[in-house]
Structure 1
Amino acid sequence: MSIETEQAVAGFIATVPTLTRTEDGAARFYTRIGIEHSRQEPDGSWTKLEPTFHDMTAFRRAAEEGFTRFRKGDKFVATGRVHEYTRQKDGEQAEEFIVSRFGHDVARTQYVVHRAPRQSAPEQNAPSRSAGFETQARAPQAARAPQMGM
């Protein structure tokens, strides 16, 4: 089975996001985004170029959550698709990125994750962990030594 893929974009929220409703009542998130660009020079160095700006839209739950979580200036990563259309006001061709999923860019954002407590699974007739297995306490992630296998 092949991996399903979507288009992706990474950038920053360039304008204050808005939340409106479509004709059928679905939530609609809209903002302008900036995408940073750079060019590699012949000597191997990089030159930062001017960002480009684009429309980004999300619908339904993604719209509501995005409006709650994103502010102007936030760095994000989003998956979705480019939608090309003709603007009604001037008849010009335009495009927008329609989001299916998005979140803060973990490489450029510091944040805290609040996880809901795990719900206990219903009782099942499976062997207990101690049935024939020895368990070992796990060291904290940072304290573990790197492991190599051959």
Structure 2
Amino acid sequence: MTIPIRQSLEGVFLTGLRPGTTRTGLPVLRARVRAQQWQREGETFTPGEPVTCDLVVFHESTQRARTRFRPGDAFIASGHVNTYNVTHDGKLIQREEFVARRLGHDAARTRYKVTRTRRRLRPATAPAAVTGSGRAS
């Protein structure tokens, strides 16, 4: 059995998720995010310069994701990096975006309260089934 492994991105939303569509008409959400880089120095890790990049989310429930994340929220995403070229002021610039397959709040860095509706208790025994017509003969 193999363990599926993907690239991941841990960061903070700088902008809210903005809706859009791809060239083929698929719904997509885009946001600017900041991720902290770390450098290994012997046995310790030291923080490097933070990186700002684009986050792209392709999913059927884009409306639900749009309402769940706001600027400043910490998140964890798994997916892959997409590299593309953009022409800006006559110069060809290479840009990167992180395409997220899964996106969720970073539970270690996000404070939230879980509210659940109370469940009705099921009866201990099922009611007896009624057989026959119920009329005396």
Task: Establish whether TM, by shorter chain, passes 0.5.
Answer: yes
Distance 1:62 1:80 in 2: 17
Aligned Cα root-mean-square deviation (Å): 2.7
Distance 2:7 2:45 in 1: 25
> Deviation digits for residues 39-85 of structure 1, max 9, x if unmatched?
5778x887544311111101132533322211111000000000111
Assess, with a 3 A threshold, how the Cα gap between structure 1 residues 86 and 107 changes in structure 2: closer, same or farther.
same
Distance 2:109 2:77 in 1: 14
> Deviation digits for residues 111-144 of structure 1, max 9, x if unmatched?
23456899xxxxxxxxxxxxxxxxxxxxxxxxxx
Unaligned runs of 5+ in 2: 120-137
Assess, with a 3 A threshold, how the Cα gap between structure 1 residues 5 and 25 changes in structure 2: closer, same or farther.
same
Retained in 2: the 8 A contact 1:62–1:101?
A: no
The match for 1:15 is 15
Task: Give, as a single letter, the amino acid of the residue that structure 1 aligns with 2:9.
Answer: V
Aligned-residue offset at 1:3 = 0.9
Task: Give, as a single letter, the amino acid of the residue that structure 1 aligns with 2:29.
Answer: F
The number of aligned residues is: 117
Distance 2:29 2:45 in 1: 34
Secondary structure of residue in 2 paired with 1:73: coil
| Greater displacement, 107-116 / 69-78 | 107-116
Alignment of 1:6-45 (within 5 A): 6-38=6-38
Alignment of 1:105-144 (within 5 A): 105-113=106-114
The match for 1:102 is 103
Secondary structure of residue in 2 paired with 1:33: strand
Retained in 2: the 8 A contact 1:29–1:64?
A: no
Q: State TM-score, norm by structure 1.
A: 0.64
Distance 1:24 1:16 in 2: 23
Q: State TM-score, norm by structure 2.
A: 0.70
Larger proportion of strand? 2
